[in-house]
């Protein structure tokens, strides 16, 4: 065999051995769960040091956004290339001959990396000319191998990202479950039902945790305080602010109930909300105080949906009060509402998620519909009435989801 043919055969064998070893090195690193950075360093070493690629830019689609994952020898050029406009139409290895993008013209070859016909990445290689602008033939012959190598790397990176997202989502779900359990503990687990008062509540959270809150506190055998509140916004930030609010409310009621001033309570709570929310959120709040002996209900409505009081033969909206908490550093004016409660009266407190619920025609449930349901069924026990209201909400919205957290707190005064 002539010596030049033997040398050519040896070179081919060495090249095949190099390619097999490179693939083995990459797959071993993947199996050993190397980090993305380490995988890219191995990849760069194979292309730069062993294949002599001196100019490279690798673009990757990460969460619907194209980013430069790896680059060298191409300072500043990758920022001037728009993958969507310049590369997305390329479906196979392509020699760049002429492009309207000057930065793209500084490269010689585009290698697309596709997975199930969807583009994962685009690899740009430059400085491959052998002479007079002709691309080195040996380099061209290596393009399928480089494409395979890049494909393996990109699929591995996508799998790692997916796994990391799955783990992070699982951790987040666990944290949310714990937060939901903690939030549920903030709501009263026992509501009174005796010969003086009957209380019931229901709460439908839009997310796992929410920003609605209700409470009922028995001060002694004669006096009760209760409230319902709604934080602007949803999710974890709203739930955290509401948890802080609940703690401050209960602390103020506990230590000042012997000389409870409803105005002072609202002023103090407004300070707490301003401090905790830093002006980014506010809370609407209804607070009631009921004395069983005098049958007097005093209340402050701080910008909340007006509770409906069915008092004997009359229906009354409890609207007296002030603006919502956290809207201003100081509340300009606070009024205390007061009304006498007739035997067998019914009070329904609710958050805006109830009356603002929409159906398929974008029609809201509204207070009038709620009032009619209560008037027609006010003979029911409190818990049965609350369940009926939510049943009507489900029927009204049909297959649509709740738009907001929805809470209801109902009281019957015997």
Give pTM, 2 decimals. 0.62
pLDDT tens per residue across span 94-110: 988 877 888 898 899 99
Q: Strand pairing partners for 316?
A: 309
pLDDT tens per residue across span 331-349: 999 999 999 999 999 999 9
Predicted pLDDT of residue 171: 66
The residues, any chain, with a CB within 8 Å of residue 297's CB and separated by 6 or more, are 288, 289, 290, 309, 338, 339, 340, 341, 347, 413
Window from 114-128, 290-304, 364-378, 382-396 with minimum mean pLDDT: 114-128
Q: How would residue 6 be classed by pLDDT, with cut points 50, 70 and 90?
A: very low
Structure tokens given for 135: 């691309």
Decide if pLDDT at 78 tops 90.
Answer: no
Question: What's the CATH superfamily of 3-165?
Answer: GAF domain (3.30.450.40)
Structure tokens given for 65: 């956004």
Q: To the nearest whole percent, how much of the chain has pLDDT over 90?
A: 51
User: Where along the chain do the CATH 3.60.40.10 domains lie?
Assistant: 187-413
At the topology level, CATH places domain 187-413 in: Phosphatase 2c; domain 1 (3.60.40)
Asked whether the beta carbons of 109 and 82 are under 8 A apart, the reply is no
Give residue 243's region: left, alpha or beta (phi > 0; psi -120 to 50).
alpha
State which of 1-15, 60-74, 178-192, 322-336 shows the largest mean pLDDT: 322-336
**Mean pLDDT of the 355-379 span:** 94
SS (H, E, C) 283-318: EEEEEEEEECCCCEEEEEEECCCCCEEEECCEEEEC
Asked whether the beta carbons of 123 and 146 are under 8 A apart, the reply is yes
Q: How would residue 51 be classed by pLDDT, with cut points 50, 70 and 90?
A: confident
pLDDT tens per residue across span 232-258: 877 778 888 888 899 899 998 988 777
Asked whether the beta carbons of 227 and 245 are under 8 A apart, the reply is no
User: Where along the chain do the CATH 3.30.450.40 domains lie?
Assistant: 3-165
Query: What span, in angstroms and rounded, lies between the C-alpha atoms of 91 and 97?
Result: 16
Decide if pLDDT at 308 tops 80.
Answer: yes
pLDDT tens per residue across span 260-285: 799 999 999 999 999 998 888 999 99
Predicted pLDDT of residue 138: 57
């Amino acid at each position: 065999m002539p010596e030049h043919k033997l040398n050519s055969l040896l070179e081919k064998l060495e090249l095949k051995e190099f390619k097999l070893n490179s693939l083995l090195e990459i797959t071993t690193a993947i199996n050993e769960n190397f980090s993305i950075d380490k995988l890219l360093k191995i990849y760069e070493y194979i292309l730069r040091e062993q294949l002599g690629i001196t100019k490279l830019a690798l673009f990757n689609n990460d969460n619907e956004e194209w980013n430069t994952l790896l680059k060298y020898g191409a300072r500043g050029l990758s920022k001037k290339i728009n993958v969507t406009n310049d590369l997305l139409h390329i479906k196979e290895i392509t020699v760049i001959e002429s492009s309207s993008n000057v930065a793209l013209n500084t490269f010689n070859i585009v290698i697309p990396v596709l997975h199930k016909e969807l583009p994962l990445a685009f690899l740009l290689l430059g400085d491959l000319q052998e002479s007079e602008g002709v691309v080195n033939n040996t380099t061209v012959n290596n393009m399928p191998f480089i494409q395979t190598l890049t494909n393996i790397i990109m699929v591995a990176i996508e799998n790692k990202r997916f796994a990391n997202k799955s783990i992070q989502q699982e951790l987040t779900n666990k944290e949310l479950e714990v937060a939901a359990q903690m939030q549920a503990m903030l709501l009263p687990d026992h509501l009174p039902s005796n010969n003086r008062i009957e209380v019931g509540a229901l709460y439908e959270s839009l997310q796992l945790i929410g920003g609605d809150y209700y409470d009922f506190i028995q001060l002694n055998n004669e006096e009760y305080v209760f409230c319902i509140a709604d934080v602007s916004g949803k999710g974890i930030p709203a739930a955290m602010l509401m948890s802080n609010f609940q703690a401050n409310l209960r602390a103020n009621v506990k230590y000042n109930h012997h000389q409870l001033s409803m105005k002072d309570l609202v002023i103090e709570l407004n300070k707490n909300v301003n401090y905790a929310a830093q002006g980014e959120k506010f809370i609407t709040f209804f607070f009631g105080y009921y004395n069983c002996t005098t049958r007097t209900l005093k209340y402050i409505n701080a910008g909340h949906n007006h509770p409906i009081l069915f008092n004997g033969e009359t229906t009354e909206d409890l609207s007296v009060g002030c603006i919502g908490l956290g809207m201003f550093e100081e509340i300009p004016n606070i009024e205390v509402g007061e009304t006498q409660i007739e035997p067998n009266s019914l009070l329904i407190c609710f958050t805006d998620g109830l009356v603002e619920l929409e159906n398929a025609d974008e029609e809201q449930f509204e207070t009038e519909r709620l009032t009619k349901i209560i008037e027609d069924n006010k003979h029911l026990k409190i818990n049965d009435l609350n369940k009926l209201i939510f049943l009507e909400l489900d029927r009204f919205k049909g297959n649509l989801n709740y738009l907001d957290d929805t809470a209801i707190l109902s009281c019957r005064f015997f």
